[in-house]
Amino acid sequence: MSQIRMHLRGPVAELRLDNPSKLNAFTVEMLRQLAEFCDTLDRRTDVRLVLVTAEGERAFCAGADITAWGGLSPAEFARHWVRDGHRIFDRLARLSKPTVAAISGHAFGGGLELAAACDLRVMAPKATLALPEAGVGIVPGWSGTQRLARLIPEPMLKEMALFGRRLTAERALACGFVAEVAEDARAAAEALAERIVASSPRSIEISKAMIHAAVGEDRGASVEMLGSGMIAATEDRAEGVTAFREKRKPEFPGT
């Protein structure tokens, strides 16, 4: 049974965590499904925005299912569970489509890291955010000390990671981590989505890539993607391809 479901509604794709019996905690299968959905969504020209939601109101995502990693050897834990999860969350963060997370319930550990990988976040007023890893003898492994350090002030992040303090919706809004606090987080996220999909999809994509280049999120690929898009629209590129196919020396016009 799929623990992440994808629903398409016009230009909006919803990725819904569906493991409520375990508070939507991530399993190996959920990581695999998320990776596959990201690859699919990046290639779908009919999808212009991705909503990330969760089944149930109690938890957006309680983190990583301890039964999925608790028995791993140190090498397996580091090389596979942490590195694979980090790579997959990076894949979500670097989608060409804008992403919005609707945090209707608590987001802890990997759940908070999942929300952080999205472009915007909307949060219910009673939901909280936490990094509880130290309480079970581990550390954040899916960008909780890296990407979150760009999104949350350092003292606040240390409160969470070192002292186990939960971050309320009010404080998350005040520091800019969430864009909005709403009783119905999903409805508010959908309203944001409607505004975004009314804009130029190419402008949104390029703006996202430019911002990512500025903050260091996949900077190298963002810069080369932007440059490649520019060169692909030139007469020089058209002449180079034509000359190659005709097996002759190209005569570049410089335009």
Reported confidence tier of residue 1, pLDDT bands at 50, 70, 90 = low
Report pLDDT for 80. 86
CA distance 164 to 131: 6
Residues 6+ apart with CB under 8 A from 71: none
Q: How far is CA 112 from the centre of its chain?
A: 11
Domain ranges of the chain: 4-197, 201-245
The predicted-structure confidence for 101-153, as pLDDT tens digits, reads as follows: 999 999 999 999 999 999 999 999 999 999 999 999 999 999 999 999 999 99
Please tell me which residue, 107 or 70, carries the higher pLDDT value.
Answer: 107
Q: 4-197: CATH homologous superfamily?
A: 2-enoyl-CoA Hydratase; Chain A, domain 1 (3.90.226.10)
Pick the range with the lowest mean pLDDT from 32-36, 193-197, 214-218: 214-218
The predicted-structure confidence for 24-49, as pLDDT tens digits, reads as follows: 999 999 999 999 999 999 999 999 99
Q: Chain-wide mean pLDDT for the chain? A: 94
Contact 255, 235 (CB under 8 A): yes
In this model, does residue 200 exceed pLDDT 90?
yes
Mean pLDDT within 218-235: 89
Contact 144, 161 (CB under 8 A): yes
Mean pLDDT within 88-104: 97
Q: Tell me which residues are annotated as active site.
A: 113, 133
Reported confidence tier of residue 218, pLDDT bands at 50, 70, 90 = confident
Reported confidence tier of residue 222, pLDDT bands at 50, 70, 90 = confident
In this model, does residue 180 exceed pLDDT 90?
yes
